[in-house]
Amino acid sequence: MSDVEELVTILNQAIEVEYGALFLMPQHIAQLQDPELAAALREACRDELEHAETTARLIYALGGIPKGDFKLLRPMSTPQEMLRAHIEGERRVIELYRRAAAKARRPEHKDILRRLLADEANHQATFTRLLSQLE
């Protein structure tokens, strides 16, 4: 597998995580009574949509086609479960974007991936802070 093919594979794994968040976040927002938590998830949801689009554009720029294996995702029932699930999703996508940035050859692609990494790290920190406030 070439470096470009491997990069496209990693980016498709990342897009699966982004779409998973996009599927779950609106359901979680609708369940929440805490306005701060709902606002944080709503903001992250908007970012995840942008990340999915950006990642898809990058896949096309590399000559690939965005695709994914979207497993049945189960919404969580408590705010703590929701935050833990989203923290885990952020951890997964951060690792994927790190791997992608290491594989990327073009500086503009590395810049895009670094921006996505920074956004995801910010989400992870926000969700971790909110979880610590609930526990």
- Rounded to whole angstroms, how far apart are CA atoms 23 and 28? 9
**pLDDT 10s digits, 89-134:** 999 999 999 999 999 999 999 999 999 999 999 999 999 999 999 9
The full set of domain ranges for the chain reads 3-134
Amino acid at site 32: L
- Rounded to whole angstroms, how far apart are CA atoms 127 and 81? 11
CATH of domain 3-134: 1.20.1260.10
**pLDDT 10s digits, 45-99:** 999 999 999 999 999 999 999 998 777 678 889 999 999 999 999 999 999 999 9
HSE at residue 18, side-chain half, CA atoms within 13 A, is: 27
End-to-end CA distance of the chain: 45
